[in-house]
Amino acid sequence: MIRKYLPILTRPLQKLQRIAAICKATFKKRPYLMITLIFITWVLFFDSADLTSQYKLTRRINKLLAEQTYYQKQIAIMQAEQQALMSSDALLEKFAREKYFMRKPTEDLYIVIAP
């Protein structure tokens, strides 16, 4: 019964043997080419700095640079607001009342939350 499936099972092995024979022949004829191909394959796919790692790192760098520009713009906006608040007492009082719900001792404060 196993003899019936033996040719099917040995086909992949025969293909690998043929590929190995071709590689041996090529390596004997052109050793520098084979070594170069092995080196390139190693660097592109198996090294710690392979193509996929480089692609992921490049994407992460671009994302971080975008975040950096966003935060720089936010810092500039905050500094402008701070400068405006520190220059005017009326704006500072308005900001404190709206943002932190501060009030004068004689006032009542009602907070209405919209649904």
Q: Give the span between the Cα atoms of 16 and 7, in whole angstroms.
A: 14
Domain count along the chain: 2
Q: Is residue 58 assigned to a domain?
A: yes
Regarding whether 30 and 56 lie in a shared domain, the answer is: no
Residue 68 has pLDDT above 90, yes or no: yes
Judgement on whether residues 42 and 55 belong to the same structural domain of the protein: no
Residue 36 shares a structural domain with residue 83: no
* 7-32: pLDDT as tens digits: 666 677 777 788 888 878 777 888 88
Segment 50-72 mean pLDDT:
94
What pLDDT score does 114 carry?
A: 84
Q: Name which residue leads in pLDDT, 60 or 21.
A: 60
Which pLDDT score is estimated for 19?
Answer: 81
Q: Identify whether 38 is part of a domain.
A: yes
Residue 65 and residue 57 in contact, taking contact as beta carbons nearer than 8 Å: no
Distance (Å, whole) CA 42 – CA 35 = 10
Question: Which domain, by its residues, includes 60?
Answer: 48-104
